[in-house]
Structure 1
């Protein structure tokens, strides 16, 4: 790790994503004395973590803090307030790690100067340590800093590295926003079960267990999703009948392509 009590790791924003990461780090045994959390109004769960582990909490970042690494986990619309507020504490070798959607590396370098920046796109399954985070580091990020970023982010799931910053918007459309697509699938499947005649509560229970169970099977199996789908599908059976609808020319695939494209377009708009 590249941070210590004297050059701490600063977490700016302890909301759902920042809080999930903080929980993951504590579970991994990170030294709480080397962590500082900046959040004006941390929730009850975060306050419990801070108190349990004795993690330092500040509402304003002191100019003499000199963090070795700063994780910025606030909403993009808060950047105009947050970045100037923490700028006095940033040193030339401070690594900025951002998980804020729609905020390019150039924004941080405008605020802090030519510091090393790693831009990351996690997703909400990080809250149960099953997320996936894509990261793009700029040329100023050292190998030691990359190792630290990988260790920190792997506490909440898988980590993949990107070749260029433009890929962040594409990742946003697939995995960043993707959990919402899966949740909507569960909602739609439950509604379809209800329309078929099942009681609403039973249809919802079946749909939620099916979606989460299929995801876990895909996670644990060495087979591809294509093979897993084929394994479930008997010729001329019930699954095949349903897939004829979902795999039609106007079925799920073109709809999903349009949905991801819309998310990517919006991510690019937010980035300016």
Structure 2
């Protein structure tokens, strides 16, 4: 992506925590000049200034991009302090905060709402984006390039889909981490040492995820490839796939609860 306009006019990043920091690292690796970045954060990373990044200093009057990466609970305090014009693309990565909230704060600006997930920290994230009416092709392409620095990007058809995205891929890494915890505990209950059981669970989940991406095949087919009739995997899957007590109804409740909370945050 050509970041020449962003490098010339500047990018303002509000919030440089785990997600904001991951995005910044990705941008710097893909051609964004450190000198064009302006970070606002109450507890900035010490090395930012060493890289030539402006930290909590004077902001450019007409930045190319304003990226807001603070917690949704902080938004009411943060938004009134920011001011940009029609030529600035506003990108938000805060869960639950609607495009309408940003349009109220920045009525002249194009706005893109984005939902990345934490594997962005290693460049393996996936981000869904949706723009407002002022966000044309150029603005959407720029937003996709910015979020593409940390993984895959998909575009939504309607903002109403964002709560489901947040519940599935945004919160999803936590579900997978808990699955690793649960698998490790189950292995230990069968007699493995906790250390060995955790190593096996981690590698199994990571390897299965990598295989699912590499094969680009229906996960049901991949599951069937592992399952021999009457074998150990089939015995385990009888429990895991039980329509009343197994993983499918549990996952439906999990994602529904997270989506409902996202809708609450947006009110």
TM-score higher than 0.5: yes
Structure 2: how far apart are the matches of 1:24 and 1:36?
Answer: 15
Deviations along 1:198-251, whole A, 9 cap, x unmatched?
A: 111111111111111111111212322111111111111100100011111121
Structure 1: how far apart are the matches of 2:82 and 2:151?
Answer: 28
1:269 pairs with 252, 264, 267, which one?
Answer: 264
1:79 pairs with 56, 69, 75, which one?
Answer: 75
Deviations along 1:76-109, whole A, 9 cap, x unmatched?
A: 111122111112xx11221110000110011111
Written as runs of structure 1 = structure 2, the 5 A alignment for 1:12-51 is: 12-43=14-45, 47-51=46-50
Secondary structure of 1:3 counterpart: helix
Secondary structure of 2:39 counterpart: strand
Partners of 1:39 and 1:58 within 8 A in 2: yes
Structure 2: how far apart are the matches of 1:5 and 1:216?
Answer: 35
1:147 pairs with 138, 141, 147, which one?
Answer: 141
Partners of 1:23 and 1:49 within 8 A in 2: no
Written as runs of structure 1 = structure 2, the 5 A alignment for 1:1-272 is: 1=3, 3-43=5-45, 47-52=46-51, 54-58=52-56, 62=59, 65-87=61-83, 90-250=84-244, 251-272=246-267
Aligned length: 264
Structure 2: how far apart are the matches of 1:262 and 1:66?
Answer: 40
Give the CA deviation at 1:115.
1.7
Secondary structure of 2:16 counterpart: coil
Give the CA deviation at 1:32.
2.1
Structure 2: how far apart are the matches of 1:122 and 1:50?
Answer: 26
Please, which runs of 5 or more residues in structure 2 have no aligned partner? none
Secondary structure of 2:159 counterpart: coil
Give the CA deviation at 1:41.
1.4
Q: TM-score, normalised by structure 2?
A: 0.94
Structure 2: how far apart are the matches of 1:257 and 1:101?
Answer: 20
Structure 2: how far apart are the matches of 1:6 and 1:24?
Answer: 19
Structure 2: how far apart are the matches of 1:268 and 1:2?
Answer: 37
Give the CA deviation at 1:33.
2.5
Structure 1: how far apart are the matches of 2:7 and 2:187?
Answer: 55
4+ long deviations beyond 3 Å: 1-6
